[in-house]
Amino acid sequence: MGGSIRDWLVALLVLAAVVFGIYWFAVRDAVKPASPPPVIETPVEPAPKVDLEEPEEPVLPPVPEPAEPAEPPRKLPALNDSDKEARDDIISLSSDGTLAKWIVPDEVVRKWVAAVNTATKGELMHKNRPFTNLEGAIAVKDLETRTDGARVYVLSQENYQRYDQPVRLFAMVDSDHAVKLYQFWYPRLKQAYGELGLKNKNFHAAVMAAIDQVLAAPEIEGPIKLVRPTVYYKFEDEKLEKLPGLHKLMIRIGPDNAARVKETLKELKEKLEQLPSN
């Protein structure tokens, strides 16, 4: 019995030691800190470079200028109130305004219409002209004495030069601008033409006929001989003396000036022919 108890105690102690050992190792493993997880290095991107300089201002599209309001259409003045505007328009045909000294300030439309009507017959107006008279007297040179005692003269170069300025101004007129003004004023030109009491007449046709009269003026070669039986000079050649006044004027201004006038009128006529006749 004694041996059995001793063996039992020994067995009990061994069992307790084993249990204690198992418990000790289990607790030790439980409280043992776990191994830290492996550190995975993540590449760090470099911080963006900061530009310390001031950024450039963005280029903006230009701001459009406000459009100016369109001018209202020009109103045609009444015939009785048209003098200033009509005269200003005629003067505008010369770039430097030099025409101002040649254009009368009153009854402008009516006087030009009357002058055109007279020119259709090849004649000139001697009263109520729409332009001022040329200053100075006719310039001649004494040529010879005829067998009947009459003195014979010739038109001098100085006489032709008297017409240089008005002819130059006329030749410099912008024909396109002139036609536009003609179209604008045509209702008043037509009205003034009607006041002349002409029946079945067309002012545009009258303008074309007046131009044709100027273009039909003869071109004379050689010196232009004159005689002076009274106060006024006359052409020695009776054929020239019988010409209409407009043709004689074209002779008096000289061949060079006459050629310039005709050239300008041909250009103007070509453009006027494209307008409707009314």
The pLDDT tens digits for 89-115 are: 999 998 888 899 999 999 999 999 999
* Alpha carbon distance 124, 116 (integer Å): 9
With a cut of 60, say whether residue 222 has pLDDT above it: yes
Does residue 171 contact residue 263 with C-beta atoms inside 8 Å?
yes
The SS3 call for residue 26 is: helix
Pair 151, 229: CB distance under 8 Å: no
Considering the entire predicted model, what is its pTM? Answer: 0.73
Instruction: Please report the pLDDT score of residue 147 as a whole number.
Output: 86
State the pLDDT confidence band at 60, using cuts at 50, 70 and 90. low
Q: Is the dihedral of CA 123, 128, 134, 139 positive or negative?
A: positive
Residue 69 has pLDDT above 70, yes or no: no
Residue-wise pLDDT tens digits, 233-245: 999 999 999 999 9
Question: For the chain, percent helix, then strand, then coil, each to nearest 5?
Answer: 50, 5, 45
Pick the closest to residue 83 from 62, 109, 51 (CA basis).
109
Is 151:228 a contact under the CB 8 Å cutoff? yes
Q: Of 90, 260, 258, give the one whose Cα is nearest residue 189.
A: 90
DSSP three-state, residue 235: strand
